[in-house]
Structure 1
Amino acid sequence: MRIEQKATLISSSVAFVLVALKLTFGIISGSVAVLASAIDSLLDLVVSAFNYFALHHSDKEPDEHFNYGRRKLEPLAAVIEGTIISLSALFILYESISKIVQGSSIEHLESSIIVMIASIVITAALVLFLRHVANKTGNMVIRADALHYQTDLLSNGAVLAALGLIALTDIPLIDPLLGIGISAYMLYSAFPLIKEGILMLLDAALDAESVAKINSLLNSQIEISSHHDLRTRRSGSDIYLSVHIVFSISTSLYDAHMVGDRIELAFKNLFPDDTVHSLIHLDPYDDSEDNQLN
């Protein structure tokens, strides 16, 4: 089992423990902030389980139905996770506004504070672990999971601070106001996650810096006279790129093929943390204008 899959199993187990703790004391205390945190942890559990499914199946080799593999399950999982974060944020916002309108008090405040302290310690340990795995593997799903639990860590800290203020000031309005702040932060955090996942699903080109590195590498090749029609995209931890490289008409096919192999290896060395798939078209003359006409 890959370390990424182990990480999703661990995050699922942690989410289950947090759901049990927060949901129990959220219902007992009547705190919208604790209940919202419990609902978010429940969604974490669902998302982590889906992430395990996505990572398990994205590893499968290409076949007759999926010629390029299933790597796009990873950005799909990121989009789903970002969407779930957004939906849970909207629910928290609704509950917070409802509590402001209806008004209610918090009971068993001390127990809720203890539960939130425990949640912070557990979540902090999980975030550190997921960050380590994400940095080691560069996996988008694990990075998204780490971001998700990082927002939980911050929201848990805010909930704990709010419960402490309520204990000191006896002003229950702090609880729903904090809920509104948490929902806004969650929406803010989810947007880039959804955006990156959608761009990957739509086969957006690599970032400008990566494309510049590729062009610089191609321009440094003295065996070719020019290049054109460079196309790039990312699918999970895989990079796909295609390009036409132009030779002198007198260059033999063997020599051109050898140059193409060297450039393909150079592409792989250019992105050592990713799996690079190159499609290099060998042109005996510059046919870029012909391609544009077609």
Structure 2
Amino acid sequence: MIKLDSRLDAGTLKELNYYLDQDELSPFVSSPSPLHRRYLTYIEPFLKKFFSTIDAPEKLRLIQTSTIEPQGALYCTGFQGGPHEFTILISPDVSANTEDLLKIIVHEFTHHYFYTHKINQPTWFEEGTALLSEYMFSGKPSGAAITEHFQKPWASFFKDLDNPKLSLSAYGQAQLFFMYLYNFFGDELLNSLLNAKGSGAEAIKHIIQSAEKSPWLSFQDAFRDFQIAKYINRLDPLADNDIDQRRYFIFQSTLHAKPGLKTKALGECYQVENSEFERIQVKKIIDPTKVKSASNNSFDVCIE
């Protein structure tokens, strides 16, 4: 985390209120408070560094609601009062004194940035950017979305229209993909995503082609290598250069996933983005006679 020894009167955020219910007139926690100080110490420097100083909110409202899933949060445009008034709905089990709440604020602020700047991107792109912001802030990926993706692997950023519950799996894939790109492009990736030209895969293509050093020429090339890395996740110490060494490596963080997750990715033919893009045959990439399983740090991904 970025840390700055700020005083309450020195930061941009002047008011932080925490409500136990959306109908409550008086906040359970209000400024000045330890939560407000933690925001100024950890979050505000991050927002000013990676977004912009003028976009840092002046008022923040956190509202508990039982309609949110456990350990969850929601950014609702109907609750927003303007670019400098920022509201987040959170589940009752999210404590005001935990690191999880700080991660939630960073994540939801990314959605706030997309909304106030009228950035029109596919849901997977926006959610992937929010998850990347959270990862850059805390150094930890969102385990729930990634675990869901490995349990329900899907080589597309679109949810299965016959099973809307796969949307969390798609978000997990978007997070892994942006973490994968982050290994190559570093902190500049977030700025590139926030200011991307084009939509979805076209925006990623432009980022790849605009980078000073990039191992790919197209979105398809990057997405293909990512699909391999997702199941192998290993560095190649014998590679000719640093880029090739990291080509099939995504993350080092420990993930909360069940050991021996079975996948059916091998042999399937998946849509990359939509009908405009090529289809990827995973079976042509990984030879099952040579690769039976691949260690992914805290768990094994078994390839059938």
More helix by share: 1
Higher relative contact order (CA 8 A, sep 6+): 1
TM-score by length of 2: 0.25
